[in-house]
């Protein structure tokens, strides 16, 4: 496994794939027992991985508890990312959820205990709660970073304009900068290309990608059956609408390369990272060692330009407003104004 810096604004070195640990534990009524989770963890580490993603709410705290045991013997080797916003309690109320300074500090203290560590390398606000002022979130991040309990901060599942504003506030006020974003992105859902990924590139933010396999849809396992699709994460991360054209193209490319569809989907993300000029770090949520092994094989896969183009066409989305209007204006300008064609953009 290769390594990259976490965006352009940090020197933090992380592996090109992160390990998601939402399946570590069984308090949600599904997931992995400790022995199985340990096997997946060891397989990832043996492949060179060092970037682990968890959350206080995963398995109601059990994910962090297991992870704390797993990393204890070699804590310095790992970059640990966890999240707050929700809660480790299954019966959490309004006072102990959300993005307030109060909840952030309390959540971090509890996460540190479950993780059996004195610091968290990367703290995410898990979701935009649509209530807490951005100034409060960013300043609380800065306080925890200055205290040494957190080293970097990021925003997960936030609108692009809020992330950009938070980063601007931090820059202007001398607070610790936003280091990265976490968003859903895959061949099954490319909507992050409209605003979030271009913003991350412009601001130098890392982009970690959750559900890189569309909740399992892109593996092709559920092409003819819904069986098993709603067991993990209560079906919330699963793309239930199958696109036969997209799946056909993924399977066709897989057959050409003599690999599995999961490896095509993951290889496409690496291709897109280069094309979008954004550091994309997929979070793989393998529940079994077999699933992990299948996914890791994608690190050796390289798509041809023609294969990537076919996948892009099959998964294409509308640019949406205002991007389609901007593109239309530029196209008209190219036809009406000969001088426009002489302009060289600042970057490709």
Q: Are strands 13-15 and 3-5 parallel, antiparallel or unpaired?
A: antiparallel
Catalytic residue positions?
Answer: 58
The residues, any chain, with a CB within 8 Å of residue 112's CB and separated by 6 or more, are 118, 119, 120, 149
Buried b / exposed e along 142-168 (16+ C-beta atoms within 10 A): bbbbeeebbbbbbbbbbebeebbebbe
């Amino acid at each position: 496994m290769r390594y990259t810096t976490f965006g352009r604004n940090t020197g933090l070195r992380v592996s090109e794939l992160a390990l998601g640990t939402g399946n570590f534990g069984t308090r949600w009524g599904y997931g992995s027992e400790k022995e199985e989770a340990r096997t997946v963890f060891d397989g990832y580490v043996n492949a060179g991985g060092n970037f682990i993603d968890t959350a206080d709410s995963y398995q109601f705290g059990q994910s962090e508890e297991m992870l704390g045991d797993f990393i204890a013997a070699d804590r310095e080797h790992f970059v640990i990312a966890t999240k707050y916003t929700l809660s480790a309690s299954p019966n959490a109320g309004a006072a102990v959820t959300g993005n307030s300074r109060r909840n952030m500090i309390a959540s971090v203290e509890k996460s540190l205990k479950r993780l059996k560590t004195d610091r968290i390398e990367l703290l995410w606000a898990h979701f935009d709660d649509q209530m807490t002022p951005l100034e409060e979130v960013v300043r609380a991040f800065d306080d925890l970073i200055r205290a040494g309990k957190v080293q970097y901060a990021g925003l997960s599942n936030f609108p692009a304009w809020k992330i950009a504003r938070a980063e601007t506030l931090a820059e202007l006020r001398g607070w610790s900068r936003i280091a990265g974003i976490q968003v859903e992105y895959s061949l099954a859902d490319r909507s992050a290309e409209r605003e979030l990924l271009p913003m991350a590139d412009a601001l130098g933010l890392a982009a970690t990608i959750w559900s890189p396999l569309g909740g399992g849809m892109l593996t092709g396992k559920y092409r003819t059956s819904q069986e098993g699709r709603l067991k993990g994460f209560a079906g919330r991360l699963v793309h239930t609408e199958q696109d036969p054209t997209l799946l056909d193209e993924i399977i066709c490319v897989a057959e050409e390369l003599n690999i599995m569809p999961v490896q095509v989907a993951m290889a496409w993300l690496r291709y897109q990272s280069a094309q979008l000029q954004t550091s994309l770090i997929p979070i793989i949520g393998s529940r079994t060692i077999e699933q992990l092994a299948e996914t890791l094989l994608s690190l050796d896969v390289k798509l041809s330009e023609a294969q990537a183009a076919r996948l892009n066409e099959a998964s294409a989305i509308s640019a949406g407003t205002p991007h389609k209007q901007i593109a239309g204006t530029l196209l008209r300008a190219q036809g009406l104004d000969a001088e426009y064609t002489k302009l060289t953009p600042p970057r490709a």
